[in-house]
Chain A
Amino acid sequence: MKANIYRYDPEKDSKPYMQEFDIEIPDNKDIMVLDLLHLAKEQDSSLSFRRSCREGVCGSDGMSMNGTNGLACITPISAVAKNNKIDIRPLTGMPIIKDLVVDMSLFYKQYEKIKPYLINDQPEPAIERLQSPEDREKLDGLYECILCACCSSSCPSFWWNPDKFIGPAGLLQSYRFLADSRDTATSERLQDLEDPFSVFRCRGIVNCVNVCPKGLNPTKAIGKIKSMLLNKAT
């Protein structure tokens, strides 16, 4: 198996390059791309990438594999390899720190901007706040986000304005709190989203939906935010 891996070390490289690794796959098994990277690192210990849970729930190893963003740990090489060859690059549109490691600070900043926590100005009851299973069901498809940034980094609007457009991941979380029957800050949250950038840079091209490794649908959530904004204003 040939793996073409994006390399850049700011301490010694003036510009990035692709390094070809020839990797022997043990027993010809259909391993995950993350396993492939570990094998590559055994050949060259200076190769850097993030990883943690290796089962698709922590969101560390979002990267571009043969042109499509995904999580390396749950992407079998058979799903992306063409002619026994894989190109592995960092997430698109984000500044590179080293090799496959990108600087996600703007991504996190957009997440923080939407106040990603429950706001409820009522006094807390002695037990939990009650919520019907129907109301709870409204959070399904929203709360599962793992902040891997596969979506936002495949979104052209986020490439152009990562400092102003909240991006699919942040907006999905924004809607997660707008949709929560326990949250009382709906109108303040909406007010914060009315400007021309935060939400309205979304053009509905559904790149985010296509790459989400958890099968979530940010475009739909953004549509719902737009309807809520319209509802509030009219």
Chain B
Amino acid sequence: MVKQITSFSRNGLLDWLYQRISAIVLGAYFVFLAYFIGSHPNLTFGQWSGLFDNLAMKIATLLALIAFLVHTWIGLWTITTDYITERMMGDKAIWIRLPVQVLYSVMLSVLVIWGIVILWGGH
């Protein structure tokens, strides 16, 4: 009933599903990282960097980055459409909301690309 073009998937059910799946991916990733740090009390840079040389870890990290992008996009979009609305601040809302949405989209994209560069860019 309500059409939206700036939402992540333009579909509430998909957004809702993506948010949950991305939460699971992020959750699993950070639990693993916590476990890794916990089991290496005297963690060295070598061990840490070795972990990320592993292909499986690279893939997992990439997945986590994408999940981060999706999860944050949906979350921030919700916040902008809850609080930065015509009902709350009148006609000027669109001129605040849209730039904010563009800004976080760009920031999130930069973060993800930067992450990929770190992961695959070599030492």
Residues of A within 8 A of B (CB): 113, 157, 160-164, 192-201, 226, 229-230, 233
For the complex, is B118 an interface residue (Cβ under 8 Å from A)? no
A163, A194, A201, A233: residue with the most chain B Cβ atoms closer than 10 Å: A194
B97 → A minimal CB distance (Å): 13
Contact A200 B13, beta carbon cutoff 8 Å: yes
Contact A192 B1, beta carbon cutoff 8 Å: yes
Contact A196 B15, beta carbon cutoff 8 Å: yes
Total of A-B residue pairs, C-beta within 8 Å: 53
Bound Cα distance from A164 to B81, whole angstroms:
11
B20 → A minimal CB distance (Å): 10
Beyond A194-B11, A197-B2, A226-B13, 8 additional contacts (C-beta under 8 Å) are A157-B82, A161-B85, A163-B87, A193-B12, A195-B11, A196-B4, A200-B12, A229-B13
Assuming the contacts A113-B1, A196-B4, A196-B7, asked whether A230 and B13 have C-beta atoms less than 8 A apart, the reply is yes
Find residues 46-69 in chain B having any chain A CB closer than 8 Å to their own CB: none
Bound Cα distance from A201 to B3, whole angstroms:
14
Q: Which 10 A-B pairs have the closest CB atoms?
A: A200-B12, A196-B12, A160-B82, A197-B2, A195-B2, A196-B7, A164-B2, A195-B12, A229-B13, A200-B16
16 interchain pairs (CB within 8 A)?
A160-B82, A160-B87, A160-B88, A161-B81, A161-B85, A161-B87, A164-B2, A192-B1, A193-B1, A195-B1, A195-B12, A196-B2, A197-B81, A198-B1, A200-B16, A233-B13
Residues of B within 8 A of A (CB): 1-4, 7, 10-13, 15-17, 78, 81-83, 85, 87-88
Bound Cα distance from A164 to B88, whole angstroms:
14
Looking at chain A's contact residues, is the secondary structure mostly helix, strand, loop, or mixed? loop
A157, A164, A230: residue with the most chain B Cβ atoms closer than 10 Å: A164
Contact B85 A197, beta carbon cutoff 8 Å: no
Closest to B8 in A: A196
A168 → B minimal CB distance (Å): 16
Contacts of B2 in A (CB 8 A): 164, 195-198
Contacts of B15 in A (CB 8 A): 196, 200
In the complex, which of the residues A157, A162, A194 contacts B12, with contact meaning CB atoms closer than 8 Å?
Answer: A194
A234 → B minimal CB distance (Å): 9
In the complex, which of the residues B4, B17, B78 contacts A195, with contact meaning CB atoms closer than 8 Å?
Answer: B4
A194, A196, A229: residue with the most chain B Cβ atoms closer than 10 Å: A196
Contacts of B1 in A (CB 8 A): 113, 192-193, 195, 197-198
Contacts of A201 in B (CB 8 A): 78
